[in-house]
A and B are shown apart, each in its own frame.
Chain A
Amino acid sequence: NAGVTQTPKFQVLKTGQSMTLQCAQDMNHEYMSWYRQDPGMGLRLIHYSVGAGITDQGEVPNGYNVSRSTTEDFPLRLLSAAPSQTSVYFCASSYGPNWPQHFGDGTRLSIL
C-alpha cells in the first residue's frame, strides 16, 4: 500500500544547479499537485495536473516546471536552483482537485 511516494527525501544543491523531484502514486488518481511548505506560510500550490498530458500553474510556479506523461508520475523540475527555493516540497494526489488530498512524506531541499 505505497500511496504517494516522493524521492529523494533530502537534497542539498548549489545555486544554479538543476534537479528533478520525483512523485509517483499507485491509486489511479487523475489529479496530482505539488506544494511547497515554508514556516508560517502554510502549503502553497506550485503546479497541478488534472490528468495525463494536462498541467497548469498554481500560486507560486516561477522557477519550476512539470510534466505528466503518465497517470502515475508527476515530476517537478527546478531549472536553476536559487536559495529562495529552499523548502519542504510535498506531492499530493486525489480523485479531483477538491477531494481529500493524499500526500507524500515530502522532500527537504536546501539550496546553498
Chain B
Amino acid sequence: TQLLEQSPQFLSIQEGENLTVYCNSSSVFSSLQWYRQEPGEGPVLLVTVVTGGEVKKLKRLTFQFGDARKDSSLHITAAQPGDTGLYLCAGDGGANNLFFGTGTRLTVIP
C-alpha cells in the first residue's frame, strides 16, 4: 500500500484568511489528483497534477506537485465559507487504482 498522509487533519479558519494543506508520501506518483467532498456527497475532482514542479491555479486555489513527485500542496487565498469541506489527495502509483490520502477537513467561519 502506498501511503498518502495529509496535514493538518482539521483546520478551522476565519473568512478571508489564507491556508495551505499538504499531501505527503514516501512513494513516487506519476500523477496526483485533488478532490473536495461536501457533507452527504461523494468527492468531486478539483485538479490533476502530472509533472514534477507543476503549479496549477483554479481561481483562489493553487495546487503544486513536488519536484520529486512524492508530495503536493493546496493553497487557498482569501478563504470563503463555500470552501468548507473535506479535501482529499489521491496518487496514481501505476497499479490499477488510486491511493487516497487521509483528508483535511476545512471549516471556514463567516
Contact = CB atoms under 8 A, between A and B. Distances in A.
A101 B102 contact: no
A89 to B, nearest CB: 10
Interface stretch (B14-22, B62-70, B71-79, B93-101): B93-101
A58 B100 contact: no
Contact of A106 (B1, B33, B41, B103): B41
Contact count band on B: 20 to 34
Interface residues of A, number: 24
Interface stretch (A13-21, A43-51, A62-70, A71-79): A43-51
B97 A97 contact: yes
A104 B6 CA distance: 23
A40 interface: yes
Contacts of B35: 101
B101 A101 contact: no
B40 A105 contact: yes
Given A42-B101, A43-B43, A59-B1, 4 more contacts: A41-B102, A42-B6, A48-B97, A101-B43
